Amino acid sequence: MFHLFNSFHASSWAILLVAFFLTYFLENKKIMSIILRLFYVVMLVSGIGMLTIMEFPMHFVVKGILAILLIGLMEMLLARQKKQSSSPLVLWILFIIDLILIILLGYKVISL
Ligand code: HEM
């Protein structure tokens, strides 16, 4: 079961990122935004599934929290764009820092 979650998780995170950028930059966002949300669910279910099997090690709990934050940031960026309000530079900086941390934690380049 762990292996199944892991293969979903490992092969989906890059697709999730591509789906986010396509949703952000495409004019017609309808279909892409549905696909993006589907990948949120895939990442959440597989991530939480692995966490449960691993009995919640600190390292991956922190990674999971940062990942949920990243999903929040993606949604905030999309919402800001929709409202055409001020350029969300702070959100982009947080997005990039958070993403780098998640990947480094995910591949255990840094460990807690
Ligand atoms: C934005 C969403 C996410 C991204 C970009 C992301 C990215 C990654 C990456 C790159 C890895 C390493 C993959 C590998 O081992 O091949 C990983 C592993 C992992 N992620 Fe995520 N993740 C996300 C969401 C989540 C969530 C929501 C949770 C849990 C609440 C989670 C829990 C885990 C766990 C437990 C592992 C360890 C798997 C192992 O031991 O091999 N992830 N994640």
Token output for 8: 């979903």
* Euclidean distance between CA atoms 39 and 5, whole angstroms: 13
* Spans of the chain below 50 pLDDT: none
What is the predicted pLDDT for the residue at 6? 97
Q: Are 78 and 24 in contact (CB under 8 A)?
A: yes
Whole-model pTM: value is 0.92
Structure tokens at 63: 């990674």
Phi, psi values for residue 26, rounded to 5°: -75, 150
Distance 30 CA to ligand 1 centre (A): 27
Residue nearest to atom 4 of ligand 1 (CA): 13
Ligand 1: residue whose CA is nearest its atom 43? 106
Look at residue 94 in the predicted model and tell me its pLDDT: 98
Protein residue whose Cα sits closest to atom 18 of ligand 1: 106
CA–CA distance from 38 to each of 15, 35, 74 (Å)? 11, 5, 14
* pLDDT score for 85: 72
Cβ 107 under 6 angstroms from ligand 1: yes
pLDDT attached to residue 87? 65
